[in-house]
Amino acid sequence: MIIKTTTADVGKRMTASGAAKGLSEAATGAFAGPSIVLEEARLAGLLDGDKTEHVSFRAPRALVEAAMRESGVTRPTELGLLALATLAQPDPTASFLKETRGKLGPDHKLDY
């Protein structure tokens, strides 16, 4: 399977309608992961500017289908943008765990 991503029109569609929908779903408790990731990328300025980069690669069909099924996106281009947006933004949980590894509060007691 060949995935070709050109960001000319997908970024606008996903950030304008998809992200707004995702945020309203998040407020109601429904899962809206892809929309939130793209909204955070937009807020960080990662989706601004000209959409001139072209990315094309081959991937196993099962991997692409599973990723699309899990994320809820319906087009390979949307999947590519979601993957790039996910990789481009740091995970705050990972940095917190690294910073606090091996540290307990002063009042913390281990119960044996």
pLDDT single digits (tens) 46-61:
999 888 899 999 999 9
First to last CA, the chain: 55
Averaged pLDDT score across all residues of the chain: 76
64 within a domain of the structure (yes/no)? yes
106 within a domain of the structure (yes/no)? no
- If pLDDT is split at 50, 70 and 90, which confidence band does 35 have? confident
Q: Report pTM.
A: 0.58
Name the residue range of residue 51's domain: 2-90
Q: Are 91 and 97 in contact (CB under 8 A)?
A: no
Helix, strand and coil content of the chain, in percent to the nearest 5, comes to 55, 10, 35
53 within a domain of the structure (yes/no)? yes
Q: Average pLDDT of 90-108?
A: 84
- If pLDDT is split at 50, 70 and 90, which confidence band does 32 have? low
pLDDT at position 108 is 79
Number of structural domains the chain divides into: 1
3-state secondary structure of 79: helix
7 within a domain of the structure (yes/no)? yes
